[in-house]
């Protein structure tokens, strides 16, 4: 009998597709709405044909081998797949899939919310009001920085970077981008974006939003030298992966006024947040909710399930990460 292990309850739409296709007994969902432990993962995956993990589950060779040789697909419930050892999966003929596209606009919305909140000191001023500290309107009360008409810097011009560019155009911003891959000149013109090398990108951007995957080359792409090169009025937003930013260096830059503010959805050691960052009033901090809307999480569940169905039925899944195993 088919066995599909889902490491945490996900929206019904995905589970329904799997139970309708393979029967209710084929689908085992970890019972608690908590990240499962390593031991629970090793136990739950035993005998599984398919694994549907979330981004906090580390799926390495040991986990794959604990499943047994029938494991055919790991359908990550995320677009990022740095939690999975893809090389180990490929070596074992296991397909890895992800959920691209469906969360692009939702994650861009969250990045834009963080950008606005950090620029206009929303978190800090809301805490002040709720604490009963507001005594009167003030000409100098909670002065922030303008967003409209400023220079937007997009670090990583993939799907989400492009969605940020779209929002920035609506705010009448000049748009710079930096990426290992440069767009075709005609696309740059069409999108109204200008490529800048990293020094110019850092020096000229009023806002920087990070949209690169976590790779050895992007780890700590933003650290002390980068913060020193940025404007004192700059705002940094990160909705990609925490380790792209050196959190200790960011906290120092925020405390010393090296940059103006930051908006973060992701952290180096989630769910832990660097204690120095927690002390920074000019950091807007949210708990990795980039794709967290009812609509998008439901689409992600359906997409991950579609990948499992296709793989287990011998068809080509829509979102392969390592298509060479097909
Ligand atoms: C992803 O899919 O990689 C996101 O981080 C989830 O919000």
pLDDT-based confidence at residue 132 (cuts at 50, 70, 90): very high
| Token couple for 44 | 């739950």
At 235 the pLDDT is: 99
**Average pLDDT for residues 51-60, to the nearest whole number?**
98
Q: Do 236 and 211 meet the contact criterion of CB atoms below 8 Å apart?
A: no
The structure tokens 């220079």 sit at 151
Task: Answer yes or no: is the C-beta of 78 below 6 A from any ligand 1 atom.
Answer: yes
pLDDT in tens, 182-233: 999 999 999 999 999 999 999 999 999 999 999 999 999 999 999 999 999 9
Domains 4-100+293-325 and 104-285 in one fold? yes
**Average pLDDT for residues 255-267, to the nearest whole number?**
98
At 171 the pLDDT is: 98
Closest of 89, 107, 40 to residue 326, by C-alpha: 89
Pairing of strands 95-97, 73-75: parallel
CATH of 104-285, one of 3.40.50.10490, 3.40.50.720, 3.30.70.580, 3.40.50.300: 3.40.50.720
Task: Answer yes or no: is the C-beta of 213 below 6 A from any ligand 1 atom.
Answer: no
At 118 the pLDDT is: 99
Closest atom of ligand 1 to CA, residue 289: 7
pLDDT in tens, 68-99: 999 999 999 999 999 999 999 999 999 999 99
Q: Ligand 1 center to residue 290 CA distance, Å?
A: 7
Task: Answer yes or no: is the C-beta of 55 below 6 A from any ligand 1 atom.
Answer: yes
CA dist., res. 173 & res. 175, Å (int): 6
**Average pLDDT for residues 44-49, to the nearest whole number?**
98
Q: Ligand 1 center to residue 3 CA distance, Å?
A: 25
**Average pLDDT for residues 8-14, to the nearest whole number?**
98
Q: Ligand 1 center to residue 209 CA distance, Å?
A: 15
Q: What is the mean pLDDT of the chain?
A: 98
Extents of the domains making up the chain: 4-100+293-325, 104-285
Q: Given ligand 1 and candidates 291, 292, 295, 301, which is best to mutate, with the most ligand atoms within 8 Å of its CB?
A: 291
pLDDT in tens, 275-288: 999 999 999 999 99
CA dist., res. 215 & res. 133, Å (int): 44
At 31 the pLDDT is: 94
pLDDT above 70 coverage of the chain, percent:
100
Q: Ligand 1 center to residue 141 CA distance, Å?
A: 36
At 18 the pLDDT is: 98
Q: Given ligand 1 and candidates 56, 266, 290, which is best to mutate, with the most ligand atoms within 8 Å of its CB?
A: 290
CATH class of 4-100+293-325: alpha beta
Task: Answer yes or no: is the C-beta of 53 below 6 A from any ligand 1 atom.
Answer: no
At 111 the pLDDT is: 99
Q: Given ligand 1 and candidates 78, 113, 265, which is best to mutate, with the most ligand atoms within 8 Å of its CB?
A: 78
pTM for this entry? 0.96
Helix (H), strand (E), coil (C) string for the chain: CCCEEECCCCCHHHHHHHHHHHCHHHEEECCCCCCCCHHHHHHHCCCCCEEECCCCCCECHHHHHHHCCCCCEEECCCCCCCCECHHHHHHCCCEEECCCCCCHHHHHHHHHHHHHHHHCCHHHHHHHHHCCCCCCCCCCCCCCCCCCCCEEEEECCCHHHHHHHHHHHHCCCEEEEECCCCCCHHHHHHHCEEECCHHHHHHHCCEEEECCCCCCCCCCCECHHHHHHCCCCCEEEECCCHHHECHHHHHHHHHHCCCCEEEECCCCECCECCHHHHCCCCEEECCCCCCCCHHHHHHHHHHHHHHHHHHHCCCCCCCECCHHHC
At 122 the pLDDT is: 98
Active site residues: 241, 270, 288
Alpha carbon separation from 73 to 114, 120, 148 (Å, rounded): 35, 45, 45
CA dist., res. 292 & res. 26, Å (int): 27
At 302 the pLDDT is: 98
């Amino acid at each position: 009998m088919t066995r599909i292990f889902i490491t945490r309850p996900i929206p019904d739409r995905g589970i329904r597709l799997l139970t309708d296709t393979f029967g209710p007994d084929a689908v085992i969902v970890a019972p608690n709405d908590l990240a499962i432990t390593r031991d629970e993962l090793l136990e739950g995956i035993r005998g599984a044909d398919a694994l549907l993990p979330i981004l906090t589950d580390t799926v390495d060779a040991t986990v794959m081998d604990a499943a047994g040789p029938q494991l055919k697909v790991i359908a990550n419930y995320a677009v990022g797949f740095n939690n999975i050892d893809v090389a180990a999966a490929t070596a074992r003929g296991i397909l890895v899939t992800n959920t691209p596209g469906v969360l692009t606009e939702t994650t861009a919305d969250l990045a834009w919310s963080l950008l606005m909140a950090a620029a206009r000191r929303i978190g800090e001023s809301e805490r002040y009001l709720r604490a009963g500290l507001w005594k009167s309107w003030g000409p100098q009360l909670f002065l922030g920085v303008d967003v409209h008409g400023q220079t937007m810097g997009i670090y990583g011009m993939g799907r989400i970077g492009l969605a940020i560019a779209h929002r920035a155009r609506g705010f009448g911003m000049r748009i710079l981008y930096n990426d290992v891959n440069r767009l075709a000149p005609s696309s740059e013109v069409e999108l109204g974006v200008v490529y800048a090398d990293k020094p110019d990108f850092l020096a000229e951007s009023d806002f920087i939003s990070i949209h690169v995957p976590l790779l050895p080359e992007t780890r700590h792409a933003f650290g002390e030298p980068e913060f020193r090169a940025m404007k004192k009025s700059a705002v940094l937003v990160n909705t990609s992966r925490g380790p792209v930013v050196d959190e200790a260096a960011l906290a120092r830059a925020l405390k010393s006024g090296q940059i103006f503010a930051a908006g973060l959805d992701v952290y180096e050691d989630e769910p832990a947040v660097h204690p120095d960052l927690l002390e920074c009033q000019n950091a807007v901090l949210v708990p990795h909710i980039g794709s967290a809307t009812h609509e998008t999480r439901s689409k992600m569940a359906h997409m991950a399930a579609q990948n499992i169905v296709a793989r287990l039925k011998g068809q080509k899944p829509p979102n392969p990460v390592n298509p060479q195993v097909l």
